[in-house]
Structure 1
Amino acid sequence: MNSPNLFVVGAPRCGTTSLFAALKQHPDVYASVLKEPHFHAPDLPAQPHTVSDPDDYARLFAAAGDQRIRAEASVWYLYSREAPVRIARHHPDARIVVLLRNPADMAISLYELYLRTGNEAETDPESALLRAGQTRFATSYFPFGLHYLQLMDFATPLARWRACFPGERMRVVLFDEFYRAPEAGFRDLAQWLGIDPETAVSFDARRAREAVRMTAMKQLRELPDHLRRKLNPDASRLHSGKASMAIPATLRARLREHAREVNAGFAAAAARPWPQAW
């Protein structure tokens, strides 16, 4: 069975889409054409792209050849209590990649994304980010994602993952470090995965899509219609849209202070110190 052995598990708005697009270009990697199946997180609310049937999940990797790495990326796995346990049990050889950025920047970026997609109805950033009013949840397609303050706690979920994937089985990658020199960052990640680190990949979104277009079309042809319908062709446009709202400096400062308070255990869970720039 072509079972996945690499999971990119989050966090949201931290570069998982770009990293997954780079992985797709590597000849030693077979990546699921459907990003974010979230199969191993039944404790989280289902989204339109969620795959819950075991046979459907297996179909995402059925066409894999002899590639060393078979990957999927589901950013909300990070916060799931069940995902690390299930993945460790069903994929004992798996490795885990977690991409993180400044938690305040992550929360603001997620808020701005949800305004574009219609998941967020509150247009006042302070009310949305600090108060998490329940009334707007009724119109949300993914209410879990609106708990911005809770999502800024990286230490707690990282500790759960570290307990299931100790040592070198889990790699925490910081967004700012990686995208300051993405080619070098990818080479380092490739060495960790045991694949050719000298293979060139593009981090330009258009070039990355073009590089894997034929492979993606082949994968899509082999999927049943109900799985193909889970792909959202507008997702990349919405996710790459530019922010249109000014966030007050005082609000950013309050969010950063909250992030420092809730991430006291970050260093132990991430196996790296809390970044000074955060």
Structure 2
Amino acid sequence: MSGCTHRHLLVVGAQRCGTTYLATALDAHPDVAMARPSPPEPKVFCDAELSTRGAEWYDRTWFAHATDEDLLGDKSTSYLEDPRAPARAAAMLGEPHVVVLLRDPVRRAVSHWRLSTAHGIETRGLEEALLADLGDDQPWDRRRSSVSPFAYLRRGRYAEQLVPWTTAFPATTHVLFLEELLADPAVLPALVGDLGLDPARTPPPAAGPVNASAGDRPDLDAGVSEALAGYFRESNADLAARLRRPLPW
């Protein structure tokens, strides 16, 4: 890495919301260097000890490949769920740009279930697994995952997860919706401009999400659909009010 001064970007989640797609698109911009290797995700600010190692260690460890890029980007989807991460990031990086990418929480939950199933972590059917998350936290192997692989629904309560980030970085937190990112080609250049970079230098992104899973909204039992709608109703309304814009789902 050269001796020039870099700014920092955190793509903090949410999981299964197209963050890999977004990170890949940003990495293609000549003024952005995303962390490598990826995978794994850095997840530095989910770890109390790693968070104390300083910006020099952070840049050297995850951005050794960077040269004269203006913005160094860290995509770690666990950050959004960790209320301690914003303060740790502020202590090390000052005021980074923070990007949050969200999607329909039911589609996100189904995609999450498919991922846990594909990795052999989940053995229950879709509806059983989703409804189980309406109850108490379910135990999981913390050696395999930094966050619960069974929090299918609670991870979609975006409004409460956003508060620590918008409180810590009110001027530099950017919230996007995957549905709009995929449908509107102007969304990505607008974000690039908000990050202080030249939108005209943004290469066109790939046709769709990198880690997409098929059938993220299969037919659900009417009772299950009603239960999920009720579960997310208050959170969705809170999110729309906080963002002062309608939700695209």
TM-score range, shorter chain: 0.7 to 0.9
Name the residue aligned to 1:7: 10
CA distance in structure 1 between the aligned counterparts of 2:23 and 2:158, rounded to whole angstroms: 21
Name the residue aligned to 1:18: 21
CA distance in structure 2 between the aligned counterparts of 1:139 and 1:164, rounded to whole angstroms: 28
> Which amino acid counterpart does residue 113 of structure 1 have in structure 2?
L
Name the residue aligned to 1:248: 220
Name the residue aligned to 2:129: 128
CA distance in structure 2 between the aligned counterparts of 1:62 and 1:139, rounded to whole angstroms: 29
Q: Deviations over 1:225-258 (max 9, x none)?
A: xxxxxxxxxxx6xx33434994415233432321
> Which amino acid counterpart does residue 72 of structure 1 have in structure 2?
D
Q: How many residues align?
A: 236
Distance 1:179 1:253, change over 3 A: farther
Whichever structure has more helix as a proportion of its residues is 1
**TM-score, with structure 2 as normaliser:** 0.82
Q: Secondary structure at the match of 1:157?
A: helix
Q: Secondary structure at the match of 2:72?
A: strand
Once the two structures are overlaid, the 10-residue window that deviates more, 140-149 or 94-103, is 140-149
CA distance in structure 2 between the aligned counterparts of 1:91 and 1:245, rounded to whole angstroms: 38
Once the two structures are overlaid, the 10-residue window that deviates more, 18-27 or 60-69, is 60-69
CA distance in structure 2 between the aligned counterparts of 1:73 and 1:38, rounded to whole angstroms: 8
Structure 2: stretches of 5+ with no match in the other structure? none
Q: Contact between 1:98 and 1:172, CA under 8 Å: does it hold in 2?
A: yes
Name the residue aligned to 1:145: 149
Match of 2:168 among 164, 173, 176: 164
CA distance in structure 2 between the aligned counterparts of 1:198 and 1:58, rounded to whole angstroms: 29
Q: Deviations over 1:74-98 (max 9, x none)?
A: 0111000111111122111301000
**TM-score, with structure 1 as normaliser:** 0.74
Q: What aligned pairs does 1:32-47 form with structure 2 within 5 A after superposition?
A: 32-35=35-38, 36-42=41-47
Name the residue aligned to 1:96: 98
Q: Contact between 2:103 and 2:177, CA under 8 Å: does it hold in 1?
A: yes
> Which amino acid counterpart does residue 257 of structure 1 have in structure 2?
G
Q: Could you tell me how far 1:4 is from its partner in structure 2?
A: 5.8
CA distance in structure 2 between the aligned counterparts of 1:173 and 1:118, rounded to whole angstroms: 31
Distance 1:274 1:73, change over 3 A: same
> Which amino acid counterpart does residue 112 of structure 1 have in structure 2?
R
Q: Could you tell me how far 1:34 is from its partner in structure 2?
A: 2.7
Q: Deviations over 1:93-123 (max 9, x none)?
A: 301000001111111111112111222221x
Distance 1:42 1:115, change over 3 A: same
Q: Secondary structure at the match of 2:200?
A: coil
RMSD: 3.0
Q: Secondary structure at the match of 2:13?
A: coil
> Which amino acid counterpart does residue 248 of structure 1 have in structure 2?
L
Q: Deviations over 1:120-158 (max 9, x none)?
A: 221x21210111387773599336131122212111110
Q: Could you tell me how far 1:62 is from its partner in structure 2?
A: 2.9
Q: Could you tell me how far 1:3 is from its partner in structure 2?
A: 6.2
Match of 1:260 among 218, 233, 237: 233
Q: Contact between 2:12 and 2:75, CA under 8 Å: does it hold in 1?
A: yes
CA distance in structure 2 between the aligned counterparts of 1:192 and 1:244, rounded to whole angstroms: 30
Distance 1:111 1:52, change over 3 A: farther
CA distance in structure 1 between the aligned counterparts of 2:202 and 2:235, rounded to whole angstroms: 39
Name the residue aligned to 1:199: 201
The share of aligned pairs that are identical, in percent, is 31
Distance 1:138 1:120, change over 3 A: same
Matched, 1:87 2:60: no
Q: Contact between 1:18 and 1:205, CA under 8 Å: does it hold in 2?
A: no
